[in-house]
């Protein structure tokens, strides 16, 4: 389980470190948008009170507390699941990425009241209005790895 906690902690740390750089060092709160790689990658600050793409946002404090509680319950469920399974990397890496990402976004909700999104990817002249962050990417990659290696998790203790 130490490896799982380490993966979660590193994911959380990278997420929060990048958000610190974006917000305090690059001062994206003032600048709002910064081109990193023309026509591909921008930094575009957005405060997301909801879930993906801002869904279910704007519900006030009660909704914020519901998202915080739900994320913590999901993290605990993933840890319980991991504890009952074989401790292979096929399981620990995806769950570590998912839980670390969930904790990163939860930390934002607790501290800032919303999730800090700042990565904006565009392609082929299409303007993408949505931003995301390292935590979102970790959650996505963790879920993708679980789908890829899902059959390796079938053994319980």
Q: What is the DSSP letter of 38?
A: T
Integer Rg of the chain from CA: 17
User: CA–CA separation, 5 vs 123, rounded Å?
Assistant: 36
Q: What H or E segment, with its residue span, contains residue 35?
A: strand 33-37
Q: Is 136 a catalytic residue?
A: yes
Residue of 111, 98, 97, 123 whose CA lies nearest to 47: 111
> Which residue among 15, 27, 108, 136 is the active-site one?
136
Q: Is 86 a catalytic residue?
A: no
> Which residue among 15, 86, 108, 117 is the active-site one?
117
**Residue positions annotated with a catalytic role:** 117, 136
């Amino acid at each position: 389980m130490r490896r799982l906690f380490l993966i979660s902690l590193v994911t959380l740390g990278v997420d929060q470190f990048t958000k610190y750089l974006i917000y305090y060092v690059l001062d994206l709160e003032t600048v709002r948008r910064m081109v990193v790689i023309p026509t591909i990658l921008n930094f575009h600050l957005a405060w997301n009170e909801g879930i993906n793409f801002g869904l279910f946002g704007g519900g006030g404090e009660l909704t914020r507390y519901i998202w915080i509680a739900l994320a913590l319950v999901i993290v605990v469920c993933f840890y319980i699941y991991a504890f009952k399974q074989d401790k292979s990397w096929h399981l620990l890496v995806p769950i570590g990425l998912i839980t670390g990402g969930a904790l990163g976004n939860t930390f934002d909700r607790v501290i800032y009241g919303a999730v800090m999104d700042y990565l904006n990817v565009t392609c082929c002249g299409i303007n993408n209005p949505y931003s995301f962050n390292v935590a979102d990417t970790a959650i996505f990659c963790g879920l993708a790895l679980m789908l890829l290696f899902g059959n390796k998790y079938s053994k319980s203790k």
